[in-house]
Each structure stands twice: as C-alpha cells, then as structure tokens.
Amino acid sequence: MEDKINQAAEKIANSKYLVGFTGAGISVESGIPPFRGENGIWNKYDERIFDLNYFKNHPKESWELIKNVFLEFSEIAKPNAAHFALAEIESRGFLKTIITQNIDNLHQAAGSKNVIEFHGSLQKVRCTNCDNVVDKDDLNLNFLPPKCPKCGGLMKPDIIFFGEGIPVIAYNRSFEEVGKCDVLLMVGTSGQVMPASFLPQVAQQKGATIIEVNLNPSSYTNSITDIYLEGKATEVLNKLIDVIEK
Ligand code: NAD
C-alpha cells in the first residue's frame, strides 16, 4: 500500500491538470450513508423517493421522506478529513476542480472553491412551475410540500431525480474538465449511476492516469483504474497529503 500511496502522490505532485471526482463514499465518515452497500439508504427506503413521477404524484410523502432521510443528515453532517484533504490539495494549486455526485455541500464546507455539483444540491429548492430557486433555509419546511414564494407552484429539492436530465452547465463543464485532466482522483464512487459514471471513462480515454480511493473495488477498479488505493477515504487521503507535503 505504501508503494501505491507514493506512486499516487508523485502523480498528483507532477500533474498538470488534476481533477477530483467524488461520490457518496467520501461523506460516509461524516455520517451520511451511501445509497448502496451494507448500510445503504436503499436497504431501508424505497428508491421511488427520488423518482420524478412519484414525486409529482405524491409530493407530501416524498418531501417527508427526503426531509427525514437527507435534510436531517445534511444539517448535522460536518466535512471530514477526506473533504479537507481535497480542499488542501486545491489550495496548494494541484487540484483544479472537484466534480461531485454528492448533494451534501460538504466539499464547499471544507473550503473547496471550484466544485461542480453534478446532481445538484440539497441547499437549494426549485419551483417545478416557474424555476425560481431559493435557499432551503428560506423556506418553511414545517408545512410540506413547500410552495413557491413567487407563483405558488410545487417546490422540489434542487437535486436530480430519476427521470431528470443533468443541468446543462454542470454536464458540459464536467465533461470539459475530465477531457483536459491528466490525472483523475476518484474517491468513494461505485460507478453505477449514469451519466456520471462515464466521466472517468472519458478521462481514461483521453490518456489521464486514474487514481481510485475506495473501501471496496468498484466497477472501475479492474477496468480503468491505474492506481487503486483501498481503504477509508479519510485514512487514504491523509496518507496522500502527508507524502505530497514531503
Ligand atoms: P454509491 O452509494 O453507489 O457508492 C458508494 C461508494 O463509496 C461504494 O463504492 C463504496 O465502496 C464506497 N465507500 C463507502 N464508504 C467509503 C469510505 N469510508 N471511504 C471510501 N469509499 C467508501 O455512491 P455514488 O457512486 O456516489 O452514486 C450514488 C448516488 O448517490 C450519487 O448520485 C449521489 O448523488 C447520491 N448520494 C449522495 C450522498 C451525499 O450527498 N452524501 C449520499 C448518498 C447518495
């Protein structure tokens, strides 16, 4: 493992354009469960809470579940050492952008500046009628479903539900970033959610070195990953930072 950490640190330190790509696994140690796996959210709850048609037909039930499952986690969760390590690698000038599939705002809370939220953010709520976007803290979530302060339309968390497209700007910027990176650092993603799962493949096809941090092998590990660092995101990234600093 030490050899692989050294190898990865060297790639990062010598990179010209390093991009990060993160998934639910990086926030597990902040207390937010992932979707899949042993303690995954889908073992307890029905995936329908994130289905657009189900949401439109059952807005109150959907909002209640989303509030209980996600908003409560996101209110108490704090960034962990892995989020801070990525912010540190950015502040040292190595990491240019983080593309995250997460909706928990923890990269920004850790100090990362250039973050693309591929699946949106729980911080925001959008009107399904007039597209008005407001901060979730400016809405009264004691009465569900919340109504748009402008037009009275149904408000929806500004995250991507099954059946929705990725916001064009986030989509285009993400594919541009992976297209120009020479090293991609992936942390805690299973690679099972499309189209986000194509991003590492594009980086690899353009010749980037793929470094993967994961607790368990993912769909990338034996296909496109060049350096696989198995372990908890906090532990692996702390080791990486130590070596980079030296
Ligand atoms: P996923 O749930 O499919 O997979 C999580 C991955 O993280 C797995 O490969 C697992 O082995 C790994 N992992 C778990 N704990 C880890 C740890 N401590 N250190 C390193 N790796 C660890 O997650 P995904 O690939 O991001 O895709 C699912 C979708 O889930 C994404 O679209 C994301 O928006 C959404 N999601 C987000 C959050 C969040 O914002 N925190 C939480 C749950 C789900």
- For the ranges 59-73, 100-114, 152-166, the maximum mean pLDDT occurs at 100-114
pLDDT for residue 199 is more than 90: yes
pLDDT by residue (tens digit) across 134-146?
998 899 888 999 9
Place 75 in a pLDDT band, splitting at 50, 70 and 90: confident
**Token couple for 23:** 């998934």
pTM greater than 0.85? yes
pLDDT by residue (tens digit) across 11-47?
999 999 999 999 999 999 998 888 777 777 777 777 7
Q: Tell me if the bond preceding 195 is cis, omega within 30° of 0.
A: yes
DSSP state for residue 18 in the 8-state scheme: E
| Exposed e or buried b per residue across 15-38, where buried means at least 16 C-beta atoms within 10 angstroms of its C-beta | beebbbbbbbbbbbbbebbbbebe
Query: Which residues lie with the beta carbon below 6 Å from any ligand 1 atom?
Result: 23-25, 27-29, 32, 34-37, 101-104, 119, 188-190, 192-193, 213-216, 218, 232-233
125 DSSP β-pair partners: 134, 157
pLDDT by residue (tens digit) across 177-192?
999 999 999 999 999 8
Catalytic residues: 119
Report which protein residue has its CA nearest ligand 1's atom 22.
25
Categorise residue 111: left if φ over 0, alpha if ψ from -120 to 50, beta otherwise: left
Query: Which helix (H) or strand (E) covers residue 209, if one does?
Result: strand 209-214
* Mean pLDDT computed over 68-76: 75
**Token couple for 149:** 């302060």
pLDDT at residue 39, rounded to an integer: 75
pLDDT at residue 74, rounded to an integer: 72
